[in-house]
Structure 1
Protein backbone atom coordinates (compact mmCIF):
# COMPACT_ATOMS: atom_id res chain seq x y z
CA UNK A 1 0.00 0.00 0.00
CA UNK A 2 1.44 3.41 -0.92
CA UNK A 3 2.00 6.00 1.80
CA UNK A 4 -0.61 8.25 0.12
CA UNK A 5 -3.30 5.60 0.62
CA UNK A 6 -2.31 5.18 4.27
CA UNK A 7 -2.79 8.91 4.91
CA UNK A 8 -6.28 9.00 3.45
CA UNK A 9 -9.15 7.96 5.62
CA UNK A 10 -12.87 8.28 5.43
CA UNK A 11 -14.62 10.98 7.40
CA UNK A 12 -18.10 11.13 8.86
CA UNK A 13 -19.09 14.79 9.22
CA UNK A 14 -21.97 15.57 11.58
CA UNK A 15 -23.66 18.95 12.08
CA UNK A 16 -25.58 19.80 15.25
CA UNK A 17 -27.63 22.69 16.59
CA UNK A 18 -27.35 24.03 20.11
CA UNK A 19 -30.71 25.64 20.87
CA UNK A 20 -30.73 27.38 24.25
CA UNK A 21 -33.87 29.00 25.64
CA UNK A 22 -34.25 32.00 27.98
CA UNK A 23 -34.03 29.69 31.03
CA UNK A 24 -30.57 28.42 30.00
CA UNK A 25 -32.05 25.09 29.01
CA UNK A 26 -30.73 23.27 25.97
CA UNK A 27 -32.77 21.24 23.52
CA UNK A 28 -31.88 17.55 23.42
CA UNK A 29 -33.21 14.76 21.27
CA UNK A 30 -33.70 11.23 22.48
CA UNK A 31 -33.65 8.72 19.64
CA UNK A 32 -33.63 5.04 18.83
CA UNK A 33 -31.39 4.39 15.81
CA UNK A 34 -29.33 1.46 14.57
CA UNK A 35 -30.54 -0.66 17.49
CA UNK A 36 -29.43 1.81 20.18
CA UNK A 37 -30.99 4.44 22.41
CA UNK A 38 -29.14 7.76 22.25
CA UNK A 39 -29.37 11.25 23.68
CA UNK A 40 -27.76 13.96 21.59
CA UNK A 41 -28.21 17.40 20.11
CA UNK A 42 -30.55 17.80 17.13
CA UNK A 43 -28.74 17.38 13.82
CA UNK A 44 -27.10 14.73 11.74
CA UNK A 45 -24.95 13.80 8.81
CA UNK A 46 -23.64 16.10 6.12
CA UNK A 47 -24.63 14.90 2.66
CA UNK A 48 -22.33 15.10 -0.35
CA UNK A 49 -22.65 18.46 -2.09
CA UNK A 50 -24.20 20.11 0.96
CA UNK A 51 -22.78 22.97 3.03
CA UNK A 52 -22.80 22.71 6.82
CA UNK A 53 -25.41 25.44 7.32
CA UNK A 54 -27.63 23.86 4.64
CA UNK A 55 -27.23 20.54 6.47
CA UNK A 56 -28.28 22.15 9.75
CA UNK A 57 -31.38 23.69 8.15
CA UNK A 58 -32.31 20.36 6.53
CA UNK A 59 -31.75 18.31 9.67
CA UNK A 60 -33.83 20.68 11.82
CA UNK A 61 -36.63 20.64 9.29
CA UNK A 62 -36.56 16.83 9.05
CA UNK A 63 -36.42 16.32 12.82
CA UNK A 64 -38.46 19.20 14.26
CA UNK A 65 -40.40 20.62 11.28
CA UNK A 66 -38.93 23.94 12.39
CA UNK A 67 -36.92 26.63 10.68
CA UNK A 68 -33.88 27.89 12.55
CA UNK A 69 -32.54 31.44 12.76
CA UNK A 70 -29.61 33.35 14.27
CA UNK A 71 -27.08 30.66 13.44
CA UNK A 72 -23.49 31.06 14.65
CA UNK A 73 -20.60 28.61 14.73
CA UNK A 74 -19.80 27.33 18.21
CA UNK A 75 -17.32 24.45 17.97
CA UNK A 76 -15.73 21.99 15.57
CA UNK A 77 -14.09 18.81 16.81
CA UNK A 78 -10.41 19.52 17.42
CA UNK A 79 -9.28 16.04 18.40
CA UNK A 80 -9.35 12.60 16.83
CA UNK A 81 -12.59 10.73 17.40
CA UNK A 82 -13.18 7.30 15.93
CA UNK A 83 -16.66 6.88 14.48
CA UNK A 84 -19.26 5.52 16.87
CA UNK A 85 -21.17 3.30 14.46
CA UNK A 86 -18.62 3.17 11.65
CA UNK A 87 -15.33 2.35 13.30
CA UNK A 88 -13.21 2.77 10.19
CA UNK A 89 -14.22 6.43 9.91
CA UNK A 90 -12.98 9.53 11.66
CA UNK A 91 -15.82 11.56 13.12
CA UNK A 92 -15.86 15.34 12.78
CA UNK A 93 -18.72 17.19 14.47
CA UNK A 94 -19.60 20.83 13.85
CA UNK A 95 -21.83 22.64 16.35
CA UNK A 96 -23.80 25.82 15.73
CA UNK A 97 -25.82 27.85 18.17
CA UNK A 98 -29.24 28.55 16.69
CA UNK A 99 -32.77 29.49 17.62
CA UNK A 100 -36.03 27.88 16.59
CA UNK A 101 -38.17 30.27 14.59
CA UNK A 102 -41.33 28.99 16.28
CA UNK A 103 -40.24 27.23 19.53
CA UNK A 104 -43.72 27.01 21.03
CA UNK A 105 -44.78 24.75 18.14
CA UNK A 106 -42.21 22.07 19.02
CA UNK A 107 -43.64 19.19 21.02
CA UNK A 108 -41.34 18.39 23.93
CA UNK A 109 -41.47 16.06 26.90
CA UNK A 110 -40.03 15.98 30.41
CA UNK A 111 -39.36 12.27 30.04
CA UNK A 112 -36.39 10.59 28.30
CA UNK A 113 -37.23 8.45 25.27
CA UNK A 114 -40.86 9.51 25.27
CA UNK A 115 -41.78 7.69 22.06
CA UNK A 116 -43.02 4.39 20.72
CA UNK A 117 -39.97 2.30 19.79
CA UNK A 118 -41.89 0.70 16.93
CA UNK A 119 -42.34 4.06 15.14
CA UNK A 120 -40.18 4.74 12.10
CA UNK A 121 -37.07 6.55 13.41
CA UNK A 122 -38.55 7.23 16.88
CA UNK A 123 -37.48 10.50 18.44
CA UNK A 124 -38.57 12.88 21.20
CA UNK A 125 -37.32 16.27 22.34
CA UNK A 126 -36.81 17.76 25.77
CA UNK A 127 -35.31 20.81 27.43
CA UNK A 128 -32.73 20.33 30.15
CA UNK A 129 -30.92 22.91 32.26
CA UNK A 130 -27.33 23.41 31.12
CA UNK A 131 -26.36 23.81 34.76
CA UNK A 132 -27.87 20.46 35.77
CA UNK A 133 -27.02 18.25 32.81
CA UNK A 134 -24.35 15.62 33.38
CA UNK A 135 -21.85 14.71 30.68
CA UNK A 136 -22.92 11.09 31.25
CA UNK A 137 -26.44 12.06 30.06
CA UNK A 138 -25.05 12.44 26.54
CA UNK A 139 -24.39 9.39 24.39
CA UNK A 140 -21.53 10.62 22.23
CA UNK A 141 -18.04 11.68 23.38
CA UNK A 142 -17.90 14.96 21.45
CA UNK A 143 -21.30 16.01 22.85
CA UNK A 144 -19.84 15.52 26.35
CA UNK A 145 -17.05 17.97 25.48
CA UNK A 146 -19.61 20.50 24.24
CA UNK A 147 -21.65 20.16 27.46
CA UNK A 148 -18.50 20.93 29.50
CA UNK A 149 -17.81 23.98 27.30
CA UNK A 150 -21.38 25.27 27.69
CA UNK A 151 -21.26 24.80 31.47
CA UNK A 152 -17.91 26.60 31.74
CA UNK A 153 -19.32 29.44 29.61
CA UNK A 154 -22.41 29.65 31.85
CA UNK A 155 -20.27 29.86 35.00
CA UNK A 156 -18.08 32.59 33.53
CA UNK A 157 -21.19 34.64 32.65
CA UNK A 158 -22.42 34.51 36.29
Structure 2
Protein backbone atom coordinates (compact mmCIF):
# COMPACT_ATOMS: atom_id res chain seq x y z
CA UNK A 1 0.00 0.00 0.00
CA UNK A 2 1.46 3.40 -0.91
CA UNK A 3 2.15 6.14 1.59
CA UNK A 4 -0.92 8.23 2.33
CA UNK A 5 -1.46 11.51 0.56
CA UNK A 6 -1.94 14.59 2.72
CA UNK A 7 -5.30 16.18 3.29
CA UNK A 8 -6.14 19.87 3.27
CA UNK A 9 -4.18 21.70 5.95
CA UNK A 10 -1.82 18.80 6.68
CA UNK A 11 1.91 18.80 6.13
CA UNK A 12 2.59 18.19 2.44
CA UNK A 13 4.22 14.89 1.55
CA UNK A 14 6.22 14.40 -1.59
CA UNK A 15 8.40 11.46 -2.56
CA UNK A 16 11.90 12.81 -2.84
CA UNK A 17 15.55 12.11 -2.40
CA UNK A 18 17.32 13.56 0.62
CA UNK A 19 18.38 17.14 -0.07
CA UNK A 20 21.15 19.26 1.36
CA UNK A 21 20.40 20.72 4.76
CA UNK A 22 20.76 24.30 5.85
CA UNK A 23 22.63 24.17 9.11
CA UNK A 24 23.07 21.18 11.39
CA UNK A 25 21.08 18.18 10.18
CA UNK A 26 21.54 15.01 12.21
CA UNK A 27 20.45 11.79 10.57
CA UNK A 28 18.93 9.02 12.67
CA UNK A 29 18.14 5.37 12.04
CA UNK A 30 15.22 3.53 13.66
CA UNK A 31 14.92 -0.25 13.84
CA UNK A 32 11.62 -2.11 13.61
CA UNK A 33 10.80 -5.79 14.03
CA UNK A 34 10.56 -7.38 10.60
CA UNK A 35 8.53 -10.46 9.72
CA UNK A 36 11.22 -12.05 7.54
CA UNK A 37 14.55 -10.46 8.47
CA UNK A 38 14.06 -9.64 12.13
CA UNK A 39 15.06 -5.97 11.80
CA UNK A 40 14.19 -3.30 9.24
CA UNK A 41 15.15 0.37 9.39
CA UNK A 42 13.97 3.88 8.64
CA UNK A 43 16.40 6.80 8.38
CA UNK A 44 15.27 10.32 9.23
CA UNK A 45 16.55 13.84 8.76
CA UNK A 46 15.04 17.23 9.50
CA UNK A 47 15.80 20.22 7.31
CA UNK A 48 15.09 23.76 8.53
CA UNK A 49 15.15 26.81 6.24
CA UNK A 50 14.60 30.35 7.56
CA UNK A 51 13.54 32.76 4.80
CA UNK A 52 15.67 35.87 4.28
CA UNK A 53 13.22 38.15 6.08
CA UNK A 54 12.84 35.83 9.09
CA UNK A 55 9.06 35.79 8.61
CA UNK A 56 8.73 32.06 7.87
CA UNK A 57 10.54 28.88 8.83
CA UNK A 58 10.18 25.87 6.53
CA UNK A 59 10.47 22.42 8.16
CA UNK A 60 10.96 19.23 6.13
CA UNK A 61 11.06 15.77 7.74
CA UNK A 62 12.58 13.23 5.34
CA UNK A 63 12.01 9.55 6.08
CA UNK A 64 13.80 6.88 4.03
CA UNK A 65 13.90 3.10 4.07
CA UNK A 66 17.65 2.55 3.94
CA UNK A 67 17.29 -1.22 4.23
CA UNK A 68 16.73 -4.09 1.84
CA UNK A 69 13.25 -5.08 3.04
CA UNK A 70 9.95 -3.17 2.96
CA UNK A 71 9.06 -1.30 6.16
CA UNK A 72 5.39 -1.40 7.10
CA UNK A 73 4.03 1.27 9.43
CA UNK A 74 0.61 2.28 10.71
CA UNK A 75 -0.15 5.98 10.89
CA UNK A 76 -2.06 6.85 14.11
CA UNK A 77 -4.15 9.58 12.50
CA UNK A 78 -4.57 11.69 9.39
CA UNK A 79 -1.67 14.00 10.27
CA UNK A 80 1.13 11.85 8.87
CA UNK A 81 3.83 13.87 10.65
CA UNK A 82 3.98 16.48 13.38
CA UNK A 83 6.40 19.32 13.95
CA UNK A 84 7.31 21.36 17.03
CA UNK A 85 9.68 24.21 17.86
CA UNK A 86 11.32 24.50 21.29
CA UNK A 87 13.46 27.14 22.93
CA UNK A 88 16.97 26.37 24.20
CA UNK A 89 15.51 25.64 27.66
CA UNK A 90 12.98 23.16 26.24
CA UNK A 91 9.82 25.31 26.23
CA UNK A 92 7.59 24.46 23.29
CA UNK A 93 6.64 27.66 21.43
CA UNK A 94 4.86 26.15 18.41
CA UNK A 95 3.39 22.80 17.37
CA UNK A 96 1.84 22.11 13.97
CA UNK A 97 -0.95 19.88 15.36
CA UNK A 98 -2.09 22.30 18.11
CA UNK A 99 -5.70 23.29 17.55
CA UNK A 100 -6.17 20.89 14.63
CA UNK A 101 -8.81 18.18 14.53
CA UNK A 102 -7.11 15.11 13.03
CA UNK A 103 -9.14 12.10 11.92
CA UNK A 104 -8.37 9.26 14.32
CA UNK A 105 -8.13 6.53 11.71
CA UNK A 106 -5.33 3.98 11.55
CA UNK A 107 -3.74 3.93 8.09
CA UNK A 108 -1.24 1.29 7.01
CA UNK A 109 1.60 2.31 4.71
CA UNK A 110 4.75 0.75 3.34
CA UNK A 111 8.18 2.17 2.56
CA UNK A 112 9.79 0.06 -0.18
CA UNK A 113 13.59 -0.41 -0.02
CA UNK A 114 15.20 2.90 -0.97
CA UNK A 115 11.87 4.78 -0.90
CA UNK A 116 11.76 8.14 0.81
CA UNK A 117 9.03 10.60 1.66
CA UNK A 118 9.20 14.22 2.76
CA UNK A 119 6.65 15.83 5.08
CA UNK A 120 6.81 19.61 5.18
CA UNK A 121 5.16 22.58 6.78
CA UNK A 122 5.91 26.19 7.75
CA UNK A 123 6.12 27.94 11.10
CA UNK A 124 4.57 31.33 10.28
CA UNK A 125 5.55 34.50 12.14
CA UNK A 126 8.44 33.02 14.15
CA UNK A 127 9.91 34.96 17.02
CA UNK A 128 13.66 35.72 16.96
CA UNK A 129 15.96 33.44 18.93
CA UNK A 130 17.69 30.07 19.07
CA UNK A 131 15.45 27.01 18.75
CA UNK A 132 15.31 23.27 18.19
CA UNK A 133 12.94 21.95 15.54
CA UNK A 134 11.43 18.49 16.05
CA UNK A 135 9.81 16.42 13.30
CA UNK A 136 8.01 13.18 14.15
CA UNK A 137 6.39 10.55 11.96
CA UNK A 138 3.01 9.79 13.58
CA UNK A 139 3.21 5.97 13.50
CA UNK A 140 2.34 3.32 16.08
CA UNK A 141 5.39 1.05 15.74
CA UNK A 142 8.05 3.29 17.26
CA UNK A 143 9.05 6.88 17.90
CA UNK A 144 10.45 8.03 14.55
CA UNK A 145 11.78 11.58 14.83
CA UNK A 146 14.60 13.98 14.10
CA UNK A 147 15.74 17.22 15.74
CA UNK A 148 17.73 20.15 14.37
CA UNK A 149 18.89 23.37 16.09
CA UNK A 150 18.36 26.65 14.21
CA UNK A 151 18.20 30.42 14.72
CA UNK A 152 15.78 33.10 13.52
Taking structure 2 as the reference length, the TM-score comes to: 0.29
TM-score normalised to the size of structure 1? 0.28
More helix by percentage? 1
* Higher Rg: 1
